[in-house]
Amino acid sequence: MLMRWCAVPALLMALTGLAQAADCPEALQGSLPKLRAKESVDLCQRYAGKPLVVVNTASFCGFAPQFEGLEALNQHYKAQGLEMLGVPSNDFKQESKDSAETAKVCYANYGVTFTMTEPQKVRGDDATHLFKVLA
């Protein structure tokens, strides 16, 4: 049976105050390139010790309007320390092959202000490390 997932949110609850600065959870080891930017996000440096919502997104999925709710969640809880990371993927054939189009959907169409990455593989042997650990 073929299942198509448009978005798979995962909540990583970091143990704030229990981890030393040098400690990094397995899921956060590595970095991912930011969407339409020249820099990457060092996941451990940016998110270790913080509550983090990781969302696999797809710009042309029927759930794309989820960006509005995700941004509202981000705005409501960011002052309390919640972090959000959007990870687009075309693994389910619902993401643009053009990063500029993905950025337009996220930033211009839905007003996303949380960090988004370049499209990544999120399933199978080629999945990015973060999603291998989450799976």
The catalytic site residues sit at 61
Print burial letters for 49-82: b (CB count within 10 Å at least 16), e (below 16).
bebbbbbbbbbebeebebbeebbebbeeeeeeeb
Angle in degrees, CA 58, 8, 110, rounded to 5:
40
What's the token pair of residue 63?
Answer: 């759930």
Q: How many residues does the chain have?
A: 135
Distance CA 89, CA 97 (A): 10
